[in-house]
Amino acid sequence: MEIILSNRDERLVKDAVKANIGVSAVASRSATHYHSREEQELAVREAIEKARSVSREIPLLIASMAGARGRYIQEAIMGELGIGRGGRNRIVSPTDWDDNHFGDTVIRACFKNLDDNAGTPYVLRMFGELAERRVNNARTRRYIMSYIFDRDPASLEFMAVKYRSKLRDALTHVWGTRMTGAMIEIISKAQDGITDEKSTGIEQSLLGKYLGDSISLVFAELIVLLVFGNYDFLEKYEGGFPVINQFFRAMDNIDGCDLVPEEVLTGLLSDPDHSQHNEYWSTPEKQAATLERIRNKSKVETANQAVRKTKQERERGITRETSRVSEVTDPIALLKTIYENGRTNELYDRVGELAVKASYKDFPYKRIGVIKDRSNSMRGHWQESKNTPRAVVDFMGLVLAQSAEADFSFTSQGGATDLATAFLNLVDTDEDGPPGEYEAIFVLSDGYENTYEGLFGEIVDTYRKRVRDIPIYHVSPIGVSEANARARSLSGAVSITATHKTLPMQVASHLLEADVRKWIENRVLALTGG
């Protein structure tokens, strides 16, 4: 893979990348205090278009990075799919991008990033927007169908039950209204064993060729029938598909359907024609009681939800087994449970596993110093729920320790926030020898320094003048609502202020400033696995 960026274009590309890194970290579809939803969307789209006009690869290279927000990734993907071939390539050659499929690799990385970090609803909503924008070229169809049908069967079954209408819209968009009707007829007849060569060919070209290795054509047909509301054939498959079978049963009686998502059950009950509508859903009181019963019995409750309930239930004298710890994906939930209920090896090991998973794969620093704020304000905060800042800081510390060789220093507990002493403890030579030469220092703190305010900035400025210059990253565990990423700055002396979610992007931005060519090479390497 050759980087074709010329010296002349470097500045242009650097500015475009830097601007988009900032946008990608804050992009949101939600209205804020100062901007309507439409204004927000337009701002993101314009930024991406501007970057794409400089060089086509830019928005996608950024959208493939951890830390890019869901809205940005969606717009970057949709923009690329909308233009098809063509566009200016200043970073990699058009041959590599199109013919050698590097563009494809990057788009798939963006899809994965969107799915992993924002979730299935974001991806499916994007398909809906592609339909609204009438983007329906071969590439788009391929990505949509692969996303739906190239996955494990259990995941597809669950998705089909929970997101029936979104999948229906996506397939209708991909096939077109006329061919959708034809497909349903072909598949329905196939259930009765009626096929012919032409039908088989159509089915293969519109469905079969997109199936992953673990998805059979029979199963895919069943999914299609399910999302298009053809339930007649579901009885044939009793026993094989537990979620679908329960869904089918829930259309008449929701009792015992503990594998079906809550939203699906309540959706069924809200239909006045449902046999249990009057009994379970016709008044607000009945709705509340039904919801509580569904939630108590549901096995669909995530492991994350289960681990957070242990405290409430312990207070009520209920012993709940935390057998699903290995399924928990929310490290903050685990840490808060540890603080409140006590540490077990199982809980802490799982936190460690998640830290390994979250570690920065292309972290540019090998040796870092980390200052962790353990003051009282981290335990309770007017902006975040109890212990959340503390949990975020602890987890960030673990992630950084997995990403680089890290030394730690702590503020003292209980009294006040004294980052200055913690900084000097980190960089001081002690009797055992000189400290490692840190390439960067990360300060994990909510930014409220009080002994005294401004002291940390003085210390850092003095250190930079008298010892050496070093990038200082202030990572705040507080998510500020407006702009969603602008954390309270600790001091003008820090290089970058970020939240834990925007840190990867902010580190990237800082490194970009130093060497854009190196940044691009690192991105390309990360994507090609080289």
Partner 1 sequence: MNLANLLRGTEIVRDSDGLYVVQTIHNMAIAFLTCDDQYSLDDRFENPVTALHVTNRNYGHVNLNNKTDKDVIVAPQAAFMTKYAAQNHALPKSAAVPAHSNVDYHDAGCVEGAQGGRLRGDTDLRFVPLSIREMLLQEVNKTGSYSHLYSSVKALGNRTGVGTGTYIDKYYSHDFTRTAGIDLNEFIAHFERPDKTIGVIVLVDDEIIAIDKFPSFRYTAQVWDLLIRDCYGSVAIEAMQSGAPKPTYFTKTLESLTPVDGETPVQLMRRALVETRRSISNRVYDRLVELTTLEFTDERDVNSTDVYQSDVIKSEGYIGQVIRSGDYVHLVSLIKKDKFDPTSIRKVIAARHEYEELAVSQRAFSV
Output 299 or 466, the one with its CB closest to partner 1.
466
d(CA 351, CA 348): 5
Taking CB under 8 A as the rule, does residue 415 contact partner 1?
yes
Taking CB under 8 A as the rule, does residue 84 contact partner 1?
no
Q: What is the DSSP letter of 368?
A: E
The site for partner 1, by CB under 8 A, has a size of 33
- Distances in Å between the Cα of 364 and the Cα atoms of 352, 368, 392, 443 are 21, 10, 22, 17
Q: Give the sheet arrangement for strand 367-372, strand by strand.
A: 405-410, 367-372, 440-444, 472-476, 496-499
Q: Which stretch binds partner 1 (CB under 8 A): 57-65, 249-257, 351-359, 451-459?
A: 451-459
Using DSSP's 3-state secondary structure scheme, residue 381 falls into: coil
- Tell which one of 252, 271, 453, 482 touches partner 1 (CB under 8 A): 453
- Tell which one of 141, 401, 446, 490 touches partner 1 (CB under 8 A): 446
Taking CB under 8 A as the rule, does residue 450 contact partner 1?
yes
- Tell which one of 193, 272, 317, 414 touches partner 1 (CB under 8 A): 414
Taking CB under 8 A as the rule, does residue 20 contact partner 1?
no
Non-local (6+) Cβ contacts of 523 within 8 A are 61, 64, 65, 362
Residues in the chain: 530
Output 307 or 419, the one with its CB closest to partner 1.
419
To partner 1, the closest distance from the beta carbon of 485 in angstroms equals 17
Binding mask 488-507 for partner 1 (x = CB under 8 A): x-------------------
Output 289 or 424, the one with its CB closest to partner 1.
424
To partner 1, the closest distance from the beta carbon of 457 in angstroms equals 9
Non-local (6+) Cβ contacts of 140 within 8 A are 81, 130, 174
Using DSSP's 3-state secondary structure scheme, residue 472 falls into: strand
- Tell which one of 48, 61, 145, 427 touches partner 1 (CB under 8 A): 427
d(CA 408, CA 397): 8
d(CA 468, CA 304): 44
To partner 1, the closest distance from the beta carbon of 417 in angstroms equals 7
Taking CB under 8 A as the rule, does residue 424 contact partner 1?
yes
- Distances in Å between the Cα of 503 and the Cα atoms of 41, 102, 369, 418 are 23, 26, 15, 23
To partner 1, the closest distance from the beta carbon of 64 in angstroms equals 36
Output 377 or 502, the one with its CB closest to partner 1.
377
Binding mask 363-402 for partner 1 (x = CB under 8 A): ------------xxx---xxx-------------------
**Alpha helical stretches, state H, 91-152:** 94, 102-117, 120-132, 138-149
- Tell which one of 323, 344, 462, 528 touches partner 1 (CB under 8 A): 462
Tokens found for residue 420: 């200055």
Output 101 or 386, the one with its CB closest to partner 1.
386
- Tell which one of 93, 188, 402, 451 touches partner 1 (CB under 8 A): 451
Output 172 or 383, the one with its CB closest to partner 1.
383
Q: Whose CA is closest to 363, among 406, 403, 408?
A: 403
Taking CB under 8 A as the rule, does residue 467 contact partner 1?
yes
Count of alpha carbons within 13 angstroms of residue 99, beta-carbon side: 5
DSSP 11-72: HHHHHHHHHHHHHHHH--SS--SS--HHHHHHHHHHHHHHHHHH-THHHHHHHTSTT--HHH
Taking CB under 8 A as the rule, does residue 444 contact partner 1?
no
Output b/e per residue, 87-122; b: 16+ Cβ within 10 A.
bebbbbbbebbbeeebbebbbbbbbebbbeebebeb
To partner 1, the closest distance from the beta carbon of 475 in angstroms equals 17
Phi-psi sector, 400: left (phi>0), alpha (psi -120 to 50), beta = alpha
- Tell which one of 458, 481, 514, 518 touches partner 1 (CB under 8 A): 458
Our CA angle for 265, 269, 270, nearest 5°, is 115
To partner 1, the closest distance from the beta carbon of 451 in angstroms equals 6
- Tell which one of 45, 448, 483, 517 touches partner 1 (CB under 8 A): 448
Binding mask 327-366 for partner 1 (x = CB under 8 A): ----------------------------------------
How much is the CA Rg of the chain, to the nearest whole Å? 26
Please give the residue ranges that form the binding site for partner 1 (CB under 8 A): 375-377, 381-383, 412, 414-417, 420-421, 424, 427-429, 446, 448-455, 458-459, 462-463, 466-467, 488
